[in-house]
Structure 1
Amino acid sequence: MTKVETVVLLATSLLASMPLPALAGGVPEPSGYRMDDYRAPVPATLRGARVVTTSEAEALWREKQAIFLDVMPAPLKPADLPAGTIWRDPTRKDIPDSIWLANVGYGALNKEQAKYFRDALVKYTGNDDSKSILFYCMTDCWMSWNAARRAVEWGYKSVLWYPPGADGWERAGLPLEERRPQVAP
């Protein structure tokens, strides 16, 4: 075998062993949670979960076949608001009939946040770890990836991840409704 043939063989072997997202210029799936820069390109996969398209999410929604959890963080009240300024809890437009379970998609959750998240999953699934739970936030948002990964880690068997999020849903011309957040302690 010539040197050129050897190099070609090695390069072909290396490319064949790379995950598909890395070959496509995508983001490789990390081994842990995303800890910062949450609004950035996400991987195309999530081990242990099923990634769904907009049409699949729409079918699940129309047939009421999954619990839809929006995990977008809730904006915090600015600390420097002038005295007497009225602060209203934020609203968000999300997929109808969703639950906005804010602040549970961070890479690290404190004990109270983790308990709140676990308790919410038990509540909304009726303590049935086989119920389908669909996690989303926005396009290129790691919050939903982290939350879905955590549900998989906690033993939920039908975890769905919808990467396009509420803005992808809206781009498809599907309805949105205003929602207020449920916020972890």
Structure 2
Amino acid sequence: MESSRREKGNRTFYIVVGIIILVLLSLYTLFMMWVGGGYLEEGIAGYITHIVKRVILIIVAGGLLVYSYRRIESRKGALLWLLFLCISLFFCFIFLRNIILDIPYISKPECTRLRVISWDVDTEMDYYIPYKIEGLDEDGKKRRFTVNKSTYKRYSREDSINIADVMYLPRTRVVMKLDMGDAETEE
């Protein structure tokens, strides 16, 4: 009688955890489709988008860990679960590290001036279409940043613009502000 109740409780728990994971994956997919419009890539909204993407992945991994914890039946299984827990914590640290290290730069982002500007759209993906600006910085190194769809539409067709001042977060490379100009007004 006791084991029958426990089995029924375990099945209910697995069903609830499975439903929660499916709901989170569905929300993540809808969120990615929404972001796929390309409107949440710059500024504080872009930074928050990066946070949300990573936190959703961490929640899904945590849900899988909770689910697998309930299925441990042996010492070998427990050791394997501990190994996965350590690996998951390591990846959580890696996922959140750049976001945390960018916090001091939110009020004063790094700035670089790009010359020889070009625009790019990566149409290889189905739900997420990143719009990019790229150019050469002061050291002649090629830099590439993701921008909003509206920024791309506004500036990509203008041939007179050949300089861009990009203020960005150094770790996540989220563009906080983009000032476009032409060489004649620069000097």
User: Which structure has the highest strand share of the two?
Assistant: 2
- TM-score between both structures, scaled by the size of structure 1: 0.26
Bigger-Rg structure (1/2): 2
Larger relative contact order (C-alpha < 8 A, sep ≥ 6)? 1
